[in-house]
Amino acid sequence: MKKYMVLCAGLCVALAFSSCKSSESAYKKAYEKAKAQETQTAAQGPISTETPVVTPLETTPATQTTMVDNVDNATVRTEDVTVVSGAGLQNYSVVVGSFSLKANAEGLQNTLKNAGYDAQIAYNSARNMYRVVASTFADKSSAVQSRNQFRAGNYPDAWLLFKK
């Protein structure tokens, strides 16, 4: 029984090695076919050459336009927050940091206060996050301008918060 197993395994190995070999005639046929296509396209020559039509470029003087930012398109998050540290929030606030640890939020608040901002900390109990508010406003347009100033400075991830 053992002899038959060894004999069958040897036969399988021999078939595997003999069937995996690529033949030279297959490569030669593919090469000849490619050469025939190449000579056929060369014999046809260029299909057609059309002269491109060029229209003259009209130059207009540059005018200066002022880009007006549409305040209505600014995204605002609405959250129910309570003030932990600070004077109180108005309707729209600019948030520059969110932390799960109060100590980290207090560190950023101190940094902002040293820079001259009236920074506050608000707590969102639903998400268990402390929001560091750099500035707060009654109207949306002032809040958007302030947010854009913070984004241009050291806080590119500043966002707007609408207090419920």
Domain count within the chain: 1
Q: What is the pLDDT of residues 105-152, one digit of tens each?
A: 999 999 999 999 999 999 999 999 999 999 999 999 999 999 999 999
Please give the single-letter amino acid code of residue 129.
Answer: M
Q: Model pTM greater than 0.75?
A: no
Structure tokens at 25: 């005639």
Segment 15-26 shows an average pLDDT of 69
Conformation bin of residue 116: beta by default, left when phi > 0, alpha when psi is -120 to 50: left
Q: Is the dihedral of CA 81, 83, 84, 85 positive or negative?
A: positive
**Helices assigned H by DSSP within 45-163:** 102-114, 140-152
The answer to whether residue 10 sits within a structural domain is: no
The answer to whether residue 154 sits within a structural domain is: yes
Segment 3-10 shows an average pLDDT of 86
pLDDT at 35 over 90: no
Q: Running DSSP on this structure, what letter comes out for residue 134? A: E
The answer to whether residue 145 sits within a structural domain is: yes
CATH number of the CATH domain containing 92? 3.30.70.1070
Write out the residue range of the structural domain in which residue 148 sits. Answer: 75-163
Lowest mean pLDDT among 1-5, 13-17, 58-62, 124-128: 58-62
The answer to whether residue 101 sits within a structural domain is: yes
The answer to whether residue 36 sits within a structural domain is: no
The answer to whether residue 120 sits within a structural domain is: yes
Q: Is the dihedral of CA 112, 157, 147, 161 positive or negative?
A: negative
